[in-house]
Amino acid sequence: MATMSMIKMMSVTPSSQQSVSSSTPSSSPPSTSLPIRTIPGSYGWPLLGPISDRLDYFWFQGPETFFRKRIDKHKSTVFRTNVPPSFPFFSGVNPNVVTVLDCKSFAHLFNMEIVEKTDVLVGDFMPSVKFTGNVRTCAYLDTSEPQHAKVKGFALDILKRSSKVWLTELLASLDTLWGTIDKEVSENGSATYLIPLQKCIFTFLTKALIGADPAKSPTIAKSGYAMLDRWLALQLLPTIKIGVLQPLEEIFLHSFSYPSFLVSGDYKQLYDFVKTEGREVLKRGQTEFGLSQEETIHNLLFVLGFNAYGGFSIFLPTLINAIASDTTGLQDKLRVEARQNGGPTLTFDSVKEMPLVQSVVYETLRLNPPVPLQYARARKDFTLSSHDSAYDIKKGELLCGYQPLVMQDPNVFEEPKSFKPDRFTGEGKELLNYLFWSNGPQTGSPTESNKQCAAKDTVTLTASVLVAYLFRRYDSITGTATSITALKRAD
């Protein structure tokens, strides 16, 4: 996750990709020609309004339908509503939000001059800091806090140094993963690959980011990925629709926050492993960035478990599914490009010569961002603009954007609900200005003064390497987001 540049106000003309391509983000205030409109919607009666919205969100409608119905009702992509979690056992959590569901209004969430990000990673609800050793990790820090620059700088440094081994470890883990899948498909006719994929992700990330080999600890090698799964789940379950039998999901998953002691043993083993095996990176955190040992370890574990492992565990199965389930001839095009472009060796530079491969990665992120919800709190009073109206936002109000719906903005993307593999090729590269999966636009740059994902470019290049790897190894792949049913090895 699990995790993620400032973009200024945009001017976009409806229903024309050409007009989108010719427009650029601007730092100017909203056009005075936009009418100032009262934000539609309401929060309902105390307790009853949040409960009603919670049941719609999790049970009766689901997140996307929840937001779509309110867009239709209010004739606006900006409106007031409640988002879970809410009553009864979330003391101090205010579910009231101003929802922003088009690219132009959504962009305000990343302008750090007008919004702040203190403890709003998952809205007004914040998992207990006991999950991270009583340390508020970087994801919960606002850019105005001095600690943010230290920790973000440390994260950027980790990624820079990991580049020396990232690709080598990735390719080695992919060889192991797909060797396992090959064998199981050959023996059983299909292979469920989620657990092998998570083991692959965990192993290469631990080696690349922490400089530690999980094999040094038999327990971590065997179960480290599962420890992270449990740690992530207990923090996020109150905010996620699982799809189990209702009302059981509402009663047991969405009604209260889970205590950290349920995974404290797992977390302690991961902590001890990083402390013992990651001495070099820990030393840099302390000597070069002024972090204490505790701050360094807990932020490392958050980057590893929440941002990197959590994010890849959601994104990569979606990417594999988009390719393996395709019946339009996309695989033929990917195979040709992966084998003809980029030279004999796969590197980050070589996949930059594969525009279709990269576009498929971007299009998957557009429709299925690993983190669906983004939040920010108004740092001051300001005027927020959508495509057709402007709205007064008061200091302290919480803004919420549901990214899968924002990324279907018809004013920006043609055929927005369709998966178009080549959407971001050629002139379509201009649309990367409006691809916001990483807590900012794809064309933005993560810095110590913004909240954009430090690994934004590393993620997309890693996914591109995966796609190119598959089509240098296989002629075709058939499967879903959970299993592979057929593989044809390259001659």
- Give binding residues for heme as ranges: 453
Terminal C-alpha separation, the chain: 37
Give the integer Cα–Cα distance in Å for 4 and 139. Answer: 8
- What is the sign of the dihedral through the CA atoms of 161, 310, 136 and 295? negative
Which helix (DSSP H) or strand (DSSP E) does residue 392 occupy?
strand 390-393
In one letter, which amino acid is 204?
Answer: F
Residue 251: count of CB within 10 angstroms of its CB: 10
Per the CB < 8 A criterion, the answer to whether 354 and 1 are in contact is no
Per the CB < 8 A criterion, the answer to whether 45 and 56 are in contact is no
Known binding residues are 453
Of 275, 300, 302, nearest in space to 289 by CA: 300
In the numeric block, the tokens 């070099």 are attached to 280
Counts of helices then strands in the chain (DSSP H, E): 18, 10
Structure tokens at 210: 């922490």
457 Cβ neighbours under 8 A, 6+ residues apart = none
Rg (CA), the chain: 22
- What is the sign of the dihedral through the CA atoms of 174, 179, 185 and 190? negative
Give the integer Cα–Cα distance in Å for 297 and 11. Answer: 43
CA–chain centroid gap for 160, Å, is 20
SS3 content of the chain, % helix, strand, coil (to 5): 50, 10, 40
Which helix (DSSP H) or strand (DSSP E) does residue 285 occupy?
helix 279-287
261 DSSP assignment: G
Structure tokens at 471: 């089509």
- Beta-bridged to residue 97, according to DSSP, are 81
Structure tokens at 433: 């200005």
Per the CB < 8 A criterion, the answer to whether 483 and 180 are in contact is no
Per the CB < 8 A criterion, the answer to whether 82 and 75 are in contact is no
- Beta-bridged to residue 96, according to DSSP, are 82
* 3-state secondary structure at position 370: coil
Pairing mode, strands 96-100 and 398-402: parallel
